[in-house]
Amino acid sequence: MALHDPNRRTFASDNYAGAHPEVLAALADANGGHVGSYGRDPYTERLAEVIRGHFGEAAEAFPVFNGTGANVLCLQAAIPRWGGVVCAATAHVNTDENGAPERVAGIKLLTVDTPDGKLSPALIDRQAWGFGDEHRAQPSVVSVTQSTEMGTVYSVAELRAIGEHAHALGLKVHMDGARLANACAALGASLGSVTAEVGVDVLSLGGTKNGLIGAEAVVVLDPSIGGLPFLRKMDMQLSSKMRFVSAQLLALYEGNLWSRSAQHANAMAALLATLVAELPGITLTQPVQANAVFATLLPGVADRLRESFTFYDWDHTRGEVRWVCAFDTTEDDVRALVAALADAVERVDAMEGVDATPPGK
C-alpha cells in the first residue's frame, strides 16, 4: 500500500527521487537463496571487477550505506590523527554532515571561501601552511566535490592542477563524488579520467543521488591508503547482506545507466535554467553545468512557489534558491515548475509596493 502520491514531483533534491526501475530489477535478481555475507558474495566480487575497469587495476571498492559514511571513511583512511583537510567552505563534509568528520573521525576541516564551490591551487595555499608547527592541525588532504555543492563542475585540467599541487605539498586528494556521474556527463568524460588519471587518491563514489537505495562506495585509488576493512566495520558501514548494496552499484556502473541517468538529469536542469531565465526578476547565480539550478527570486516569490513545489532556500539573505533535477524529472515537470514560478512572479508583481529589485542587488 503506497503511503505517498507517486505522481508528485519536487525539485528539492535528487535524494527525493525513487529507485530506478533497473535497480529494483537488479535487487530482485540478487534475492533468493543463500550467499556469503559481509561481501563474500558473487555480486561484490563482480563489483570489484567493474570498479577496476573504470578506475584502473589498483582500484579497490568498499560498498557502504551512505555518502557521509563514505566521506568519513575516505578521510579517516587518508589522514593521520593530527591531520587537517583543506576543503571549500560550502563542501558537504563541512556544511551537511553534522560534524561527522570532526566527531567520528576526529578530523580538523580547514575551510576556504570560494565563489563557486571550486578549489584551486591558489585557494588551497590559503590553508596549506604551518607544516611542522605542532600548534596547527597539519594539512594532509585536499577534498574536492565533483560536481560541487554549487552545481559547478571541475574541468579535467583543473582537477589535474589540484592533484599535482596537492601531491607536491605532500597532501592526498579526496573526491566527494556524490554527483560524479553528473559531472562526467557534463564533461563527456569517463569516470577514470576525472579521478585516477588526474591524481585523486581516494573517492566517495555516489549512487543514491542517481537512482540507488542507500548504496555508495569508497574507492581506494592509491594502494598506500589502507585500513578500510577495519574502519568500515568500526564506523558501522559494513553491510552483512552486502549483495544487495553491491547489486545496486553493479546495476548503475556495469553498463551505462550511471551516464544515461545523469545526462537526463543534466538536460532537465539546462531546460529549467533556459526557461526561468526568461522570467522577470529572476537571476541565475551560478553557471548551470550539472543537474542543479541556483537563482535569486523577488521577495515573496519563493513562498508562493512553495504552494506547488518543494525546493530549498540556499541563501536567505540574497533570496537565493536551489532547484535540483533527477533521473526521473520530465519535461512536463520542468514546465509545470516554470508555469508555477511565472504565476508566483505575476502575483507578487500585482501586489502594491513591491520592490522589483531582487534581494542583494
Residues 6+ apart with CB under 8 A from 143: 71, 75, 85, 86, 87, 91, 93, 173, 174, 175, 176
* Residue ranges of the chain with per-residue pLDDT less than 70: 352-361
Q: From 32, 95, 48, select the one nearest 68 (Cα to Cα).
A: 95
Please tell me what DSSP assigns to residue 316. G
CA angle 85, 92, 10 (to 5 degrees): 170
DSSP string across 108-134: EEEEE--SSS---HHHHTTTS--TT-T
Give the Cα separation of 180 and 8 in Å (integer): 26
pLDDT value, residue 349: 80
Cis peptide bond prior to 13, omega within 30° of 0 = no
DSSP 8-state code for residue 360: T
pLDDT at 354: 47
> Hey, what domains does the chain have and what are their CATH numbers?
22-255 (3.40.640.10), 258-349 (3.90.1150.10)
What is the Cα–Cα distance from 180 to 290, expressed in whole angstroms? 10
Say which residues have a Cβ less than 8 Å from residue 183's Cβ, sequence separation at least 6. Answer: 146, 147, 153, 154, 177, 189, 194, 290
pTM, to two decimals? 0.95
Strand partners, 321: 295, 313
